[in-house]
Structure 1
Amino acid sequence: MPDVHDETPIAEVTSTVSAWFARSSRDLPWRSPQTTAWGVLVSEIMLQQTPASRVVTPWQAWMARWPSPADLAAAGTDDVLRAWDRLGYPRRALRLQQAARAIVDHHGGDVPDNEDALRALPGIGSYTAAAVRAFAFGRRSLVLDVNIRRVLARLDGGVEHPARSETAQERRRAWQWVPDGDRDAATWSAAAMELGATVCTARSPRCPACPVATHCTWLALGRPAWDGPERVAQPWDGTDRQCRGRIMAALRASTATVALADIVWADDDQRRRCAASLVDDGLAEPAATGLRLPGSA
């Protein structure tokens, strides 16, 4: 990876990207100045491995129903899982409710602004803690989602994609791109993320539309193709993920116990195995005649 810090005017680039963000960013509801820290936290959990376009409507419905951590903490688990609907990875819904209860029990019902306290909440990792600190509280932090990592890999590192896993070196280099002031740092994080999501995309980057194309090392090198480990898309058809999703859809659609045999799936052994895994994950509970959502008895 070339060392371009002596060549790239970091302050100029971050300022340019931030100005582009101010005039070009998508109108997403959780970016509203009226959105609470809780609303930002909910959005970050929903956005994990899920495009923003799929999150807008569920987020709005969720915030209308449970506008504070205390509201979600008191909700029935079955209602929470039904409201999660088709967002996928429903364990996120359980962790979000567990986090809400921890916020009520240990922080007086207010989302903490300290990264250590945020990371101590169930289901909150280093990325989410940094993102909440930046986007909810306007504080300086190192926000590294897949979009920001890709922007920096191309702009700074001259490669098409970042490594599959963050490294200590990557984090050290990324910190050099974070402006010193809280407001500027938080804006840069949001702007770089937006640039990666809408312009510097994984498959079809729109380099002519990039506000900092003239500073991009990858573009200057002729957009060399990725020569690292093959990036293979995860399959879906016939997988345990699809089977689990089919079972969860049936459970959400019913207020009664659902017989496992009534859930259409070709492989009986796989259906039983996936049902058992849902029980192990706390997403379903066994009943005399089948499965039901937790707390729906």
Structure 2
Amino acid sequence: MEFLHRRITGWFAETARDLPWRDPGCGAWGVLVSEIMLQQTPVVRVLPVWEEWLKRWPTPAGLAAEPAGEAVRNWGRLGYPRRALRLHAAATAIVENHNGRVPDTYTELLALPGVGSYTAAAVAAFAYGRRETVVDTNIRRVHARLVAGAALPAPALTAAEMRLAASLLPDDDAASVRWNAAVMELGALVCTARAPKCADCPVKDSCAWRAAGEPPPSYVPKGQAWHGTDRQVRGAVMAVLRLADAPVPAEMFLQPPADLGFAPEGIGVPLAALHRLNSAPEQLERAMSGLLTDGLAEIHDGGYRLPA
């Protein structure tokens, strides 16, 4: 066990990416924002949005003081914009219940709106140096190959995986934080899902999966479709709402601007992109209804806008 700890954390010390939320001066708020933004979103897309977000809202109080719609607007094209609403709700709870300071224990973090067990553990570990079992997709994949000899972890997190992760965690607080970060980085950069760079792995000689002859996965991971889906239409509608400075009438979404006889100021480009999808009216109406249900849009003065 100590051999794995030494090899992987040593590799991390030499090769870790220089990410702003890893800076000791970042603070717990910056770590929390990064963890929520990084869910199902690659670092390269998160970085510019994270930097702008922290410039505008360097504290939870700053975000909580603004309408939830501003969080959605500044979420940009990161995808899954409900995360912006959750982050706004978490900021509000931090202000109301924790005097504006991100709580420092797993239990208190888990009680924040939109914060699950992974995020609570990650913030407690990476922002406050707590010894927590942090298990994301990258860590699960490294553990599956290195210890269990499987090409991929189970489709959903299991209790056995959590027990394995806990058993691998160093006893020392600081060492456990380095271990969590190092294994996560190894999974992100080397032990990747589709094309692992085994030659670059610091523990390749101890890998159970390689020792077993690199057996194929027991299932085929399902990719998420995008083109032609309700998610694509929702994203196109959100692009219009983010640029709108007034409620957008429903007919603008349902009919191309040329049919309406005028060019809408400020939102013409995303509106044209929406209509190029040629979505069926029922799909568009379904997507817009879903945005209302999820709290990402609201009806005001007969039109659609971001939540106030």
Name the TM-score, length of structure 1 as normaliser. 0.94
1:287 maps onto 2:295 in alignment: no
Structure 2 residue aligned with 1:277, among 280, 287, 290? Answer: 290
**Cross-structure match for 2:145:** 154
Query: C-alpha distance in 2, partners of 1:118/1:90?
Result: 21
1:256 maps onto 2:269 in alignment: no
Aligned-residue offset at 1:259:
2.8
**Cross-structure match for 2:33:** 42
Query: C-alpha distance in 2, partners of 1:240/1:11?
Result: 49
1:122 maps onto 2:108 in alignment: no
1:65 maps onto 2:56 in alignment: yes
**Cross-structure match for 1:268:** 281
Query: C-alpha distance in 2, partners of 1:291/1:230?
Result: 40
**Cross-structure match for 1:235:** 225
Aligned-residue offset at 1:288:
4.1
> Which stretches of structure 1, 4 residues or more, deviate above 3 A after TM superposition?
none
RMSD across aligned C-alpha pairs, in angstroms? 1.0
Greater RCO structure (CA 8 Å; 6+ sep): 1
Query: C-alpha distance in 1, partners of 2:194/2:28?
Result: 32
Query: C-alpha distance in 2, partners of 1:56/1:49?
Result: 14
Query: C-alpha distance in 1, partners of 2:119/2:240?
Result: 30
Structure 2 residues not aligned, in runs of 5+ = 254-274
Structure 2 residue aligned with 1:209, among 180, 200, 205? Answer: 200
Structure 1 residues not aligned, in runs of 5+ = 1-9
Query: C-alpha distance in 2, partners of 1:260/1:231?
Result: 38
Aligned-residue offset at 1:231:
1.2
Query: C-alpha distance in 1, partners of 2:125/2:57?
Result: 23
Superposed CA deviations along residues 3-22 of structure 1, whole A, max 9, x for unmatched, are xxxxxxx2110221111111
Aligned residue pairs, count: 285
Superposed CA deviations along residues 245-272 of structure 1, whole A, max 9, x for unmatched, are 0110110011112233433242110111
**Cross-structure match for 1:7:** none
Aligned-residue offset at 1:78:
2.3
Partner AA of 2:191 in structure 1:
C
Structure 2 residue aligned with 1:136, among 127, 140, 144? Answer: 127
Query: C-alpha distance in 1, partners of 2:206/2:245?
Result: 57
Aligned-residue offset at 1:289:
3.8
Query: C-alpha distance in 2, partners of 1:283/1:112?
Result: 27
